[in-house]
Structure formats: C-alpha cells, structure tokens
Amino acid sequence: MKLSVPRRAGAVAAVAALAVTGLTGATASAEPSGALAAPDIPVANVKQHLADLQSIAAANGGNRAHGRTGYKASIDFVKAKLDAAGYTTTVQQFTYNGTTGYNLIADWPGGNPDQVVMAGSHLDSVSSGAGINDNGSGSAAVLETALAVSRANLQPTKHLRFGWWGAEELGLVGSKHYVNQLPTAERSKISAYLNFDMIGSPNPGYFVYDDDPAIEQTFKSYFAGLGVPTEIETEGDGRSDHASFKNVGIPVGGLFTGASRVKTSAQVQKWGGTATAFDRCYHSSCDNTSNINDTALDRNSDAVAHAIWTLGTGSTPPPGTVFENTADVSVPDNSTAVTSSVTVSGITGNAPSSLPVGVNIVHTYIGDLVVDLIAPDGSVYNLHNRSGGSADNINQTYTVNASSEVANGVWKLRVQDKASIDTGYINSFKLTFP
Ligand code: DTR
Ligand code: CA
Ligand code: ZN
Ligand code: ZN
C-alpha cells in the first residue's frame, strides 16, 4: 500500500514508506527534467497536407503566392483544420505592394500566458510554382504538430502558439508585420520562436540554426538520438522569418534541408544523396509534391514535435507541497466511476488559480474516459471528456483554476469508463500547492 503524504519538493520526507514516483510522462535522455516525450508525427499526414496544398495551387493558377487567390485558399485550408482541432485562430491582415496579405495565428488554450513557445513557417510560395518544399514542407509539419497537440490534449506548462506567415518571399513581410504590431510586453513573453522553412528538400542536408543555444541543443540532441549528423545552418541569417523575431530580441531556432546551394562531397559522405543542389527546384515550377524527400520530411516533422513538447513542457512546476496518491485503482469497463483521493492539510487559504493536477491513467482508448477533479466541497472540474480517441494512457499535468476552493480537505480524482471493451487503472494522482 502506498501512502498519500504531503511532501515539500526537495524536502526530505519525515514519513516512512513514502511512495516516490517520478514526474509523470515518459522522458528521453535528451529531455530536460519534467518534459514529456513527443508522439511520432505520421509523415503520411504531413504528405496529405502537401497534396492538398498542391491541389490548391492547381486550382488557383498554379501557385500560392502573396496577393494571389492560391495564398488565401491556403490560409483558409490551414485555419479550418485548426478551428476543428480546438485552436483559437486569428487571421491578421496587412498590405504589401498595394495587395492584402494574411498571417494565420493559432493559440492552443492553456499554459502559462507569460511564457509562450511559438513555432512558425511561411505559407506563401513564389509565383512560379506550388511551393511544396518552399514552404509547404514547413507549413505542413507545423500544422501536423499542432494537430498532434490537440489529439494528445496536451496541457503544457507554457502557452503554445503557431504561426503561418504571408509574403515571406517578398522580404519576410508577414512575420515582420506580426512582430512590429506585437506590443513590447507581448514580445517579451515569447521564450522561443522556432522557424521551419524548407525541411523536405529532395537532396537533403540536416541543418540546425545556431542562434539560441538552448534551442539549437534541443534540435541537435534530437537528431543525435536518431544517429543523424547535423550541421550549423550558415546560409540563413536574415533569410527567413526567424530573422523578424531575432531582430527584436526573441530567442530563435529552426531547421533547414537546403535550397539551391550544392551539396559538397563531404556532405554526400555524411548524408548520402548527390553532389548537386539540395533542392534543384528551388523557386521553380517543379517544386511540387515529387520534390520532397520523405525521410527528411519525416525526421524534421518529428523534430518539430520534439521541440514543442520539450520546450513547451520542459520546465518542471515551481517547487511546492506535493500531495500524491500512487495506489492503483482499477477502472471498471463501461461502468461506475472510481476515485483516488489525497488529503490536503497545512495549506493556508484557498487553492491557486493555476493548480497543477498530475494525472497518470493507464488505459487503452482514452476516448472512453471522463476524468474530473472533485474539490473538498464537491465542486467538479472536468479534466478530460471522452477526447483522444484510440490514443492510450493519460499522462499529463492539467492546470486548474481552483482559486475559489479552500485548499485543505479531501480532493478526489474521479474516473469513469463510459464505453465497452478497453480497460485500465488510475496509476497516480498528484496536487502541487505553492
Ligand atoms: N529564403 C528562403 C529559403 C532559404 C534560403 N536560405 C535559407 C536558410 C534558412 C532558411 C531558409 C532559407 C525562401 O526562399 O523562402
Ligand atoms: Ca514520424
Ligand atoms: Zn523561397
Ligand atoms: Zn521559404
């Protein structure tokens, strides 16, 4: 039997037989402490987005360039998927060369609004073609990562924001507009901007931006884990949208697989391919869905997700008093609810407006589950309501505004399986008070 005991993070517990469990969530060796490991991003999904963007270009004069119908159709396509996935989306307009341009911003609800992790890519092509590698590849990878965040119902400690920029090909116009209209106080909340422009080149190299060291290391350690050598991206200072953010002091990073430059023989030794251009269709009409290396697209899409999960969940919650119950509680299949309880004591006043609620439920097909936090006075806070479909296990920290609740008392995690076949159990339930 494991005890439900109060313990101060970092303090030595005075209680015998203390059940100590690590922070919930699988972590790879390269992850900072407390980070959750990202899911695999299905490259087939990313390629489907590219096929859709190719169709959009074909239906709009062959391109997706600023000021053309194909660009606005691209914005509408991406926005519709994000709206359906629960994002708060904003289409931001700007004018360039007398023509209206558009940025799309998507915020994932939740997380610390004062610490924003942002990923972005330009969605416009040049006028000569569909722009599938440049930059459907980055746009599709960022889109699919955002959709993966939704599928996982990720509750990161930081706030996640995604951006798709207009008129990059005309001089980073859309991202410059976004940054310029952002109040200084809002800029300072962005702890990282990650840029993805050309990440599926047909003769790929694996380049990591060397701007912010921590972001650079996040990407490098990911590729090291794959056994894929990387090089510092030397071509790009000022050459893509990260420059707009870097110019106002925001930490930036990103990935690149190469454009019109020729791969050296040493790079061929390192990465394979040929000593020709990384992308022979750069800014050409042949930049279509056949102008993609699937392995590079897959690896880089997974690296996008790795960075979002690592940087978005990587900061461990501030030290506080932890009340935890790690006793396993079986969840009966399609039946009555069960609970796991912790008794909170010694805390003055009310619970915080951002109460971290650590939940670890081992259960196949989490779409069966309804999960609630029950305060001592019986108030119910729904944490999970049948979302997630066939995904397995709930393994995350929710943030609940419990400021109207007196802290001390018996808090319960209530779990009910409301569909037949899949089963599981509550593995642990944890509350952390500042
Ligand atoms: N300016 C980008 C392509 C590009 C060229 N060098 C780099 C370096 C890093 C990122 C992107 C690029 C474009 O044509 O969209
Ligand atoms: Ca993948
Ligand atoms: Zn370009
Ligand atoms: Zn580009």
Between 206 and 234, the more confident residue is: 206
CB of 138 sitting under 6 A from ligand 1: no
Which one of 196, 201, 241, 256 would you pick to mutate in the ligand 1 pocket, going by the greatest count of ligand atoms within 8 A of its CB?
A: 256
**pLDDT higher than 70, residue 38:** yes
CA–CA distance, 166 with 124 (Å, rounded to integer): 6
**Ligand 1 pocket residue status of 165, Cβ below 6 Å:** no
User: Of the bound ligands, which one is closest to the alpha carbon of residue 41?
Assistant: 2
CB of residue 198 inside a 6 A radius of ligand 1: yes
Report the separation in Å between the CA atom of 282 and the middle of ligand 3, taken as the mean of its atom positions. Answer: 7
Which tens digits make up the pLDDT trace of 282-341? 999 999 999 999 999 999 999 999 999 999 997 544 456 889 999 999 999 999 999 999
Query: Whose C-alpha lies nearest to ligand 1, atom 6?
Result: 236
Residue 157 clears pLDDT 80, i.e. is over it: yes
Atom of ligand 1 nearest to the CA of 283: 14
pLDDT higher than threshold 80 for residue 346: yes
CB of 233 shorter than 6 A to ligand 1: yes
**Side chain identity at 50, as an amino acid letter?**
L
Pairing type for strands 99-108 and 112-122 reads unpaired
Average pLDDT over residues 154-166: 97
pLDDT of residue 315: 55
The predicted pLDDT at position 9 comes to 39
- In order of their start, the domains of the chain are 36-313 (3.40.630.10), 321-433 (2.60.120.260)
Question: Is the CB of 235 inside a 6 Å radius of any atom of ligand 1?
Answer: yes
Q: Give the angle subtended at the CA of 407 by the CAs of 406 and 413, to the nearest 5°.
A: 105
Range of weakest confidence among 29-43, 185-199, 289-303 = 29-43
Does any ligand 1 atom lie closer than 6 A to the CB of residue 179? Answer: no
β-pairing verdict for 424-433 and 380-385: unpaired
| Edge-to-edge order in the sheet of strand 207-208 | 88-96, 99-108, 158-165, 112-122, 190-196, 252-256, 207-208, 231-232
- State yes or no: pLDDT of 6 exceeds 90: no
Alpha-carbon span 308 to 299, nearest angstrom: 14
134-153 tens-digit pLDDT: 999 999 999 999 999 999 99
Q: pLDDT higher for 300 or 390?
A: 300
CB atoms within 10 A of CB 98: 6
Using CA atoms, how far apart are residues 358 and 432, in angstroms rounded to an integer? 8
Of these ranges, 22-36, 65-79, 354-368, 389-403, the one predicted with the greatest mean pLDDT is 65-79
Beta-sheet strands, E only, within 97-239: 99-108, 112-122, 158-165, 190-196, 207-208, 231-232
CA nearest neighbour of 121 among 99, 100, 106, 111: 106
Residue 23 · residue 359 · CB < 8 Å: no
Q: Please state, in angstroms and rounded to a whole number, the distance separating the CA atoms of residues 373 and 248.
A: 41
Contacts of residue 403, defined as CB under 8 A and 6 or more positions apart, other chains included, come to 350, 351, 352, 353
* Mean of per-residue pLDDT scores for the chain: 90
Closest Cα to atom 14 of ligand 1: 169
Nearby residues of 31 by Cβ (< 8 Å), 6 or more positions away: 37, 310, 314
pTM, two decimals, is 0.69
Position 348 scores a pLDDT of 87
Mean pLDDT of 161-179: 98
**Strand partners for 105:** 90, 163
What pLDDT is stored for residue 213 in this prediction?
Answer: 86
Look at residue 31 in the predicted model and tell me its pLDDT: 35
Q: How far is the CA of 40 from the centre of ligand 2 (A)?
A: 5
Q: What is the C-alpha separation between 134 and 12, in angstroms, rounded?
A: 54
Shortest-distance Cα residue to atom 8 of ligand 1: 236
